[in-house]
Amino acid sequence: MKKDNNINNLMGRTGAVQTLKTKLQARREVKDAVCAVLSPALAAAIASAGLEDGELTLGVVGAAWASRLRYVTDTLRTRVSRTLSTPIERVRIRVVPAPPAAQKE
Categorize the per-residue pLDDT at 83 as very low, low, confident or very high, splitting at 50, 70 and 90: very high
pLDDT of residue 4: 56
Check pLDDT > 80 for residue 89. yes
Among 60, 8, 6, 7, which Cα is nearest to 34's? 60
Domain ranges of the chain: 29-104
Top-tier CATH class for 29-104: alpha beta
pLDDT value, residue 19? 83
Q: What is the pLDDT of residues 39-53, one digit of tens each?
A: 999 999 999 999 999
Listed residue (85, 96, 83) closest to 57, CA to CA: 96
Cα 18 to the center of its chain, rounded Å: 18
For the question of whether the overall pTM of this predicted structure is more than 0.95, the answer is no
pLDDT of residue 18: 80
